[in-house]
A and B are shown apart, each in its own frame.
Chain A
Amino acid sequence: MIVPAFVVYTCFMVYPLLTSLLYGLYEWHGLRRGAFVGLSNFRTILFERPFNVRFFNAVGHNASFFALTFAIQTTLGLGLASLFSRGGRLMTLYRTVYFTPYTLSLVVVGFLWSLMLNPTWGIVNKALVAFGLGAWARPWLGDPGTALTAIILINAWRWIGFPVLVFLAAIQGIPSELHEAARVDGAGGWQLFRYITFPLIVPAITMLTILTFIYDFMAFELIFVMQGSSGGPAYSTDVLGTLFYRTAFGESSAAGDIGNIGLGSAIAFLMFLIVASASIVAHRWMSRRELEY
């Protein structure tokens, strides 16, 4: 019974993931593996120009991607969820609406917003002009100062329904006696949230933070679709996902091209390290604050 699952899972998931950790240690000639070169690929990525500049530039962008997304989902997302938790038919409708963009493909989301943000014909700048805010109109995606933020916000637009629902489920899982008891003791709305709701949904926050972290360090599609494989303009939206893709599969976007597999695998290994270590740390840190009821 277990054999088919075991074979597929081992061949197409476990084996590639494990060997990818080793590939960075070799020299590669196209798709052919050459000599064992130890850590030299890693040294190139971390210490040699221009590779290290690109690498740390991308890491920084992933970090901002995560930081801003985290800030939005734990304020706006949590706020919406606690409003929804009061129930009511309208709330269910809002919930359904907010989750809608999450069912869209990132490719559609990227293209849709790049049309809306188009400097000449885009609806966003036209709306700003119509409201007398013409001075704010700008080529959002073409300006290195705003492009990354715009993309993070677009990603949040698609994503926010997910944290809202996860927080909502967590809040609804809290026994109602706890809230009643606190209310009897005279706790107000904010106190209820601060001392009852919040401590009890810390596990959900931990879970989502780890998920968001992994997801944001794997970010690729939106940037590839909207800004191209080199994360333009001037690498201002380059992330590890696009850097890895360019390095391992070449600059052109045609499938099947091969770049430098050794360097690409080294980047993949470093991404793995970042994702794994951060989720371990986050888990440790947050689990100390968990409460039982």
Chain B
Amino acid sequence: MNHGMERRKSAMKASSAMKSRPIVPQSKRQAITGQRLSRNPLLRALRRAGLHGLLSAYALIVLLPLFIMVMNSFKTTREIFLAPFSPPASWSLRAYAEVWERASFGVYLINSVFVAVTTVALILIVASMAAYGLARYRFPGVDALRLYFLAGLMVPLRLGIVPLFLVIQRLGLLDSHGALILTYLANGMPFSIFLLSGFFRQLPKELEYAARIDGCSEFQIYARVMLPLVRPALATVAIYNFVPVWNDFFFPLIFIRSDRLKTIPLGMTLFFGQHQIDWSLLFAGMTLASLPLLFLYIALSGHFIRGLTAGAVKG
């Protein structure tokens, strides 16, 4: 405690000293900065080169496994084993054709798309309505309600998987996409409501009054006037929820049994068990599983980065 206080005080002193000290004469200041900048241009260039060398070396560590995954999916398994580093002798799509047909990858893909798109659409509707209500209306208990939704922000839903399993079973939803969608929907509420209500609160009240005078119903004000104005926040919420849902393995593992209902991550494990020796197929399967999100990421990297880090970055 003392230690912390001391540090804080000394830091405060330093900053106040910074402000109150008589301004360094212009000439001297230039001398200082000038000196720092001009010091041996060769050394600076070398340092820059070293820096970029390090950064690209790490970029290589990041990209090489992905590159190997894609490249090997076009080779035969024999070729992968004998010449793992060389590009394929002939670019064959055999593995892809086989993954698609024999391993029912098409079915997994459709399931993943259906679950993820439905979930995100429902989250956007349900969370934006709730956020709007919490942000724009005053009624007794609204603060308690806001806290209630916030409470789930830091608690992983996985810890409640046993009772959740029983709830889903009692509703007759075991082994159905409904189980997944409802779970993801509930899990997405705290953050989505938190983010959206922040945006709704910033909108001017006058908009609401104007719409009301024009004869809009309360629901029309929300849907026609307010919702379009928070579109950037909706995009963030969509990506924040879409990526983890698309990639999720845990809840399908618990809830889904039938092969025809499996999503890609769960289907992958089945597929890996069946084709352990055929590496060509395995690499093709992994490439297919990752491509949709990789394409989306390359196309929308700014949105992705904003969406996925939204939980940890203020503002």
Residues on A close to B: CB < 8 A?
A: 1-2, 4-6, 8-9, 11-20, 23, 31, 80, 83, 90, 94-108, 111-113, 115-116, 121, 123, 126-127, 157, 162, 165-166, 169-170, 173, 178, 181-186, 195, 199, 204, 207-208, 210-211, 214, 218, 220-221, 224-225, 241, 248-249, 253-256, 261, 264-265, 268, 271-272, 275, 279, 288-289, 291, 293
Contacts and interface: CB of A to CB of B under 8 A. Distances in A.
A104 B293 contact: yes
B130 A2 contact: yes
Contacts of A241: 158
10 contacts: A9-B186, A11-B167, A12-B185, A111-B272, A126-B85, A157-B62, A162-B312, A211-B311, A268-B160, A289-B8
Interface string B290-301: 100110110001
A105 B247 contact: yes
Contacts of A83: 51, 55
Given A1-B222, A254-B257, A19 B163 contact: yes
A271 B305 contact: no
A105 B279 contact: no
B59 A94 contact: yes
Interface string B15-33: 1001101001000010011
B167 A103 contact: no
A204 B309 CA distance: 12
B182 A12 contact: yes
Contact of B309 (A94, A96, A165, A249): A165
B249 A105 contact: yes
B163 A13 contact: no
A207 B249 contact: no
Given A1-B133, A108-B286, A207 B167 contact: no
Which range holds the interface residue count of chain B?
A: 35 or more
Contact of A272 (B52, B159, B246): B159
Interface of A is mostly: helix
B15 A107 contact: no
B10 to A, nearest CB: 10
Contact of A105 (B21, B149, B265, B311): B265
A12 B63 contact: no
Contacts of A208: 312
A221 B250 contact: yes
Contact of B160 (A1, A17, A98): A17
B183 interface: yes
Contact of A9 (B32, B152, B297, B314): B152
Contacts of A116: 65, 68
A186 to B, nearest CB: 6
B158 A1 contact: no
Contacts of B209: none
Interface in B263-315: 264-265, 268-269, 272, 279, 282-283, 286, 289-290, 293-294, 296-297, 301, 304-305, 308-309, 311-315
A123 B68 contact: yes
Given A4-B126, A16-B161, A256-B257, A184 B29 contact: yes
Interface string B97-141: 000000000000000000000000000001101101110010000
Nearest to A23: B162
